[in-house]
């Protein structure tokens, strides 16, 4: 028995699970491991660094013969970065946080599918009108950047708004219960980030993975301070969910003061990132950290989440009299 959805049918998957394209964390090794396990692995193209892209995309392509893809942060993407990514022949491109339309012709010309990740119903309608093949409804529980709507009401609202375009759920899904719930909401699968950050194959720093293992959902906060200190001009609606640490406790709510102190704070922050000091450096992570107790191989995560979802769906059917 297996779970069959439009997602699994479209990409020849064994499980309705997509690895979120986490910038700097979801490299080629992790993406290929998820794809080889029967999910859909997406490399986190992030801000589009060409050297990083070349290394990780070539790893992904060489390590799996199954469907895989790459994601970009749309407002920061460039035609050059996309062209570089497409030269590695991914099966799918995910665009998140901005207008996907400028990039659609190149994606289509490469014979690639387009997944758009959105944070509200209006952007879901816009992605549908633009021609997205799948739309990810990303709730605010998600780790990393996102919006304000909660996953539970957002997913069915977007399912209704863009039908018949298939929808995936993201934000707060880290085990089979979350995947089963996503399917019950009308999604065709789940896009999962934080759970895979704590996979053995992820490029996340061991110290960051350890913090995720120890954290609870209440330790996570949506904030702008890590973008301010890194000099990224993220557009208005988006904030990033990260684990609280000393740096966050000092600056969250004092964004203006941080912006005025960048000459001193930015170099110290970049040094902390380089040295893996996470009392200062950020660990992007979602509310589902409660459900993550150990670093595990990606294949085990994929098969366990899927098997548990199957079990939950059967148990749910038993509720019917
Ligand atoms: C470490 C980290 C980095 C992320 N980077 C990106 C990114 O570069 N592009 C993107 O579209 N989403 C990014 N996200 C968000 C994911 O695409 C996804 O929506 C989220 O991880 C889902 O929620 P979850 O973390 O609760 O599973 C990131 C998430 C995390 C945890």
The pLDDT, as a whole number, for residue 159 is 98
Query: Residues 127, 167: contact at Cβ < 8 Å?
Result: no
Q: Which atom of ligand 1 is nearest to the CA of 23?
A: 8
* 218 preceded by a cis bond (ω within 30 of 0): no
- Sorted by sequence, the CB contacts under 8 Å of residue 227 that are 6+ apart come out as 233, 234, 240
Is residue 143 in contact with ligand 1, taking CB distance under 6 Å?
yes
pLDDT per 10-residue tile (average), the chain, 321 residues: 95 98 98 98 96 98 98 97 98 97 98 98 98 98 98 98 98 98 98 98 98 98 98 95 98 98 97 98 98 98 98 96 91
The residue annotated as part of the active site, out of 79, 145, 270, 311, is 145
Q: Is 60 exposed, middle or buried (0-12, 13-18, 19+ CB in 10 A)?
A: buried
Q: How far is the CA of 319 from the centre of ligand 1 (A)?
A: 34
* 79 among known catalytic residues: no
The pLDDT, as a whole number, for residue 287 is 98
The pLDDT, as a whole number, for residue 295 is 98
- CA-closest residue to ligand 1 atom 30: 144
The pLDDT, as a whole number, for residue 241 is 98
The pLDDT, as a whole number, for residue 236 is 86
The pLDDT, as a whole number, for residue 133 is 98
The pLDDT, as a whole number, for residue 128 is 98
Only one residue has tokens 């150990």, namely 294
Is residue 27 in contact with ligand 1, taking CB distance under 6 Å?
no
């Amino acid at each position: 028995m297996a779970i069959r959805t439009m997602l699994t049918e479209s990409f020849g998957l064994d499980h309705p699970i997509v690895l979120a394209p986490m910038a700097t964390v979801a490299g080629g090794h992790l993406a290929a491991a998820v794809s080889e396990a029967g999910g859909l692995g997406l490399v986190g193209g992030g801000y589009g660094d060409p050297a990083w892209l070349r290394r990780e995309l070539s790893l992904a392509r060489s390590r799996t013969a199954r469907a895989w893809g790459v994601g970009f942060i749309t407002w920061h993407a460039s035609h050059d970065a996309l062209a570089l990514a497409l030269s590695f022949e991914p099966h799918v491109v995910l665009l998140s946080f901005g207008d996907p339309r400028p990039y659609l012709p190149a994606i289509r010309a490469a014979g690639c599918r387009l997944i758009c990740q959105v944070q509200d119903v209006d952007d879901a309608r816009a992605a549908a009108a633009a021609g997205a093949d799948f739309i990810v409804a990303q709730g605010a529980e998600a780790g990393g950047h996102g919006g304000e709507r909660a996953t539970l009401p957002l997913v069915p609202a977007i399912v209704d708004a863009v039908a018949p375009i298939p929808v995936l759920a993201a934000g707060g899904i880290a085990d089979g219960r979350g995947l089963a719930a996503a399917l019950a909401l009308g999604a065709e699968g789940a896009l999962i980030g934080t759970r895979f950050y704590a996979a053995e194959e992820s490029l996340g720093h061991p110290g960051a993975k350890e913090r995720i293992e120890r954290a609870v959902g209440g330790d996570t906060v949506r904030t702008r301070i890590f973008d301010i200190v890194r000099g990224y001009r993220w557009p208005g609606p988006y904030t990033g969910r990260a684990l609280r640490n000393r740096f966050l406790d000092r600056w969250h709510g004092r964004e203006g003061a941080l912006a005025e102190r960048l000459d001193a704070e930015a170099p110290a922050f970049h040094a902390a990132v380089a040295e893996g000091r996470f009392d200062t450096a950020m660990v992007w992570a979602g509310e589902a950290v409660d459900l993550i107790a150990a670093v595990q191989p990606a294949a085990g995560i994929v098969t366990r989440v899927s098997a548990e979802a199957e079990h939950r769906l059967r148990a749910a059917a038993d509720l019917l009299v």
